Amino acid sequence: MTDESTIDVHGVEHAYTHGGVVEPVLHGIDLTVRRGEFLVIMGPSGCGKSTLLNILGLMMTPTRAEQVRIAGCETLGLADADRTRLRRESIGFVFQRFNLLPTISAWRNVALPLRIRQQSLDGRVEAVLEQVGLGRYAHKKPGHLSVGQQQRVAIARALVGRPAILLVDEPTGNLDSANAQAILALLADFHRQWNQTILMITHNENLAVAADRVLHMRDGRLLV
């Protein structure tokens, strides 16, 4: 791996076991993502892209792998506490279902990653909420926001700590076409203005237009 890479994985395999039956999902995945790159991985449901994203996000450990190097750190063999620390410090997540806490305000949702890391807020929450166009909605709880606004809060929460890597899982699956385009434009803005490394998985071809590179996945394999 060079200093220009934020993700470098080789020989990643994964299988699920259900009732004693082993179901292979990933087959020898090799992937390098350069710092500042916007990469989209496209593929149909069930092709293994969400499993790959969870492995890259250190939320799962592959069944087998030669290397899983994330944000400059080899993660194979890391203790759980070290994996958790690396995930918190270096990776931001945007999920299709937003995963916001419903009982607290947008501001508090966005502040949460900084509080968990015991970092100074120092105006960063307000700044990123303004950047996603929600400064005047900071006091509102998620249930009082539209779905498009909720996804903007989720993006702000993922990026408030300026992570090395932003992992995005079908970010427009719950949105209409207008909101989907707005979210894509927002991600493109962060990519351009912050040189933010983004890896997004989707089955929606319309989301690939902002990417520097598009890879296709089928049956647990990245197609060359």
CA atoms 55, 4, 159, 178: torsion sign = negative
Q: What is the pTM of this model?
A: 0.93
Specify the CATH architecture of the domain 5-96+163-223: 3-Layer(aba) Sandwich (3.40)
Sheet harboring 21-34: ordered strands across?
Answer: 21-34, 5-18, 67-70, 73-74
Q: Each residue of 119-177: pLDDT tens digit? A: 889 899 999 999 999 999 999 999 999 999 999 999 999 999 999 999 999 888 888 88
Taking the C-alpha atoms of residue 112 and residue 129, their distance in angstroms, rounded to an integer, is 13
1 pLDDT band, cuts 50/70/90, is very low
Task: Output the pLDDT for position 157.
Answer: 96
Taking the C-alpha atoms of residue 38 and residue 144, their distance in angstroms, rounded to an integer, is 32
DSSP run (H or E) holding 27 = strand 21-34
Question: Reduced to 3 states, what is the DSSP secondary structure of residue 71?
Answer: coil
3 pLDDT band, cuts 50/70/90, is low
Output the average pLDDT for the chain.
93
Other beta carbons within 10 Å of 96: 18
Q: What is the mean pLDDT of residues 68-85?
A: 95
What is the DSSP secondary-structure string of 157-207?
Answer: HHHTT--SEEEEESTTTTS-HHHHHHHHHHHHHHHHHH--EEEEEES-GGG
Domain spans, the chain:
5-96+163-223
Q: Please tell me what DSSP assigns to residue 25.
A: E
Model confidence at 2: pLDDT above 50 = no
